[in-house]
């Protein structure tokens, strides 16, 4: 139909629609949106939802990773303290502990006096307990825990820190502080 053949206002309106057809599809008419508007809104919502979903997914992954890290790190500490308490109950003094909980397989160094390393009973007793703790960790996290004993006589805490052992406790100092508090 040719717009000139339509009389009156209808012709003007028809002409207007043809001239502005690209804009008409973007407006709300009689309680409904044109199909192009609905499709555009759907696509934008899908895109926004996808971005939102991606952000939620990344945030959830970050949260789960942090929770897993905290569980693993806490367990490394608990297992280490279990060994220390076990050794203390058996009258063996631990000088310090060093933990690297950021490594794929966490690492623990338990520092003791040099004289204990030549005591066969100590070595047997301590490594039996250490093996038990390593097994527990492995069962919980399907990962290895590297835990061992080292002489405190020539141990360089600075080098250990540089090697990733970011957490340490000087237990000999703590024992000394506890003894002073009792006086």
pLDDT (tens digit per residue) in 64-80: 777 788 888 889 999 99
Quick: pLDDT tens for 76-133. 999 999 999 999 999 999 999 999 988 889 999 999 998 898 889 999 999 999 999 9
Quick: pLDDT tens for 1-57. 444 444 444 444 444 434 434 443 344 344 444 455 555 655 666 566 656 665 676
171 is a domain residue:
yes
Give pTM, 2 decimals.
Answer: 0.65
Higher pLDDT, 154 or 27: 154
Total domains in the fold of the chain: 1
What number is the average pLDDT over the span 161-183?
A: 68
119 is a domain residue:
yes
25 is a domain residue:
no
* Measured distance CA(109)–CA(161) in Å, rounded: 12
Long-range (24+ apart) CB contacts under 8 A made by 122-126 are: 122/92, 123/149, 125/87, 125/90, 125/92, 126/83, 126/87, 126/92
Contact 96, 168 (CB under 8 A): yes
Placement of tokens 């000088």 in the chain: 95
Contact 113, 151 (CB under 8 A): yes
pLDDT recorded at residue 49: 61
Higher pLDDT, 137 or 172: 137
- How far, in Å, are 94, 116, 117, 152, 160 from residue 121 at the CA level? 15, 9, 10, 19, 28
Contact 79, 133 (CB under 8 A): yes
* Measured distance CA(145)–CA(135) in Å, rounded: 8
26 is a domain residue:
no
State the sign of the Cα–Cα–Cα–Cα dihedral 62, 63, 69, 72. negative
pLDDT recorded at residue 168: 86
Query: What is the span of the domain harbouring residue 94?
Result: 64-182
pLDDT recorded at residue 5: 47
Those residues with Cβ within 8 angstroms of residue 75's Cβ, 6 or more apart along the chain or in another chain = 137, 140, 141
Structure-block tokens of residue 72: 């693993």
Phi and psi angles of residue 102, each rounded to the nearest 5 degrees, phi first: -85, -15
pLDDT recorded at residue 56: 73
pLDDT recorded at residue 84: 94
Q: 172: pLDDT confidence band, cut at 50, 70 and 90?
A: confident
Computed on alpha carbons and rounded to an integer, the radius of gyration of the chain in Å comes to 35
| Three-class secondary structure of residue 1 per DSSP | coil
132 is a domain residue:
yes
DSSP state of 7: -
What number is the average pLDDT over the span 157-161?
A: 91
């Amino acid at each position: 139909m040719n717009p000139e053949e339509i009389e009156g206002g209808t012709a003007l309106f028809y002409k207007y629609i043809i001239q502005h057809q690209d804009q008409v599809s973007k407006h709300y008419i009689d309680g409904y949106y044109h199909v192009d508007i609905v499709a555009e809104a759907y696509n934008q919502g899908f895109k926004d939802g996808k971005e939102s979903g991606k952000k939620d997914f990344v945030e959830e992954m970050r949260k789960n990773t942090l929770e897993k890290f905290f569980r693993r790190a806490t367990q490394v500490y608990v297992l280490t303290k279990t060994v220390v308490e076990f050794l203390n109950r058996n009258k063996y003094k631990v000088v310090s502990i060093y933990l690297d909980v950021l490594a794929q397989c966490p690492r623990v160094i338990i520092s003791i006096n040099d004289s204990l390393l030549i005591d066969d009973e100590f070595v047997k007793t301590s490594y039996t307990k250490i093996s038990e703790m390593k097994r527990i960790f492995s069962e919980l996290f399907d990962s290895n825990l590297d835990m061992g004993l080292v002489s405190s006589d020539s141990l360089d805490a600075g080098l250990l820190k540089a090697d990733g052992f970011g957490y340490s406790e000087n237990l000999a100092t703590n024992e000394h502080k506890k003894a002073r508090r009792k006086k």
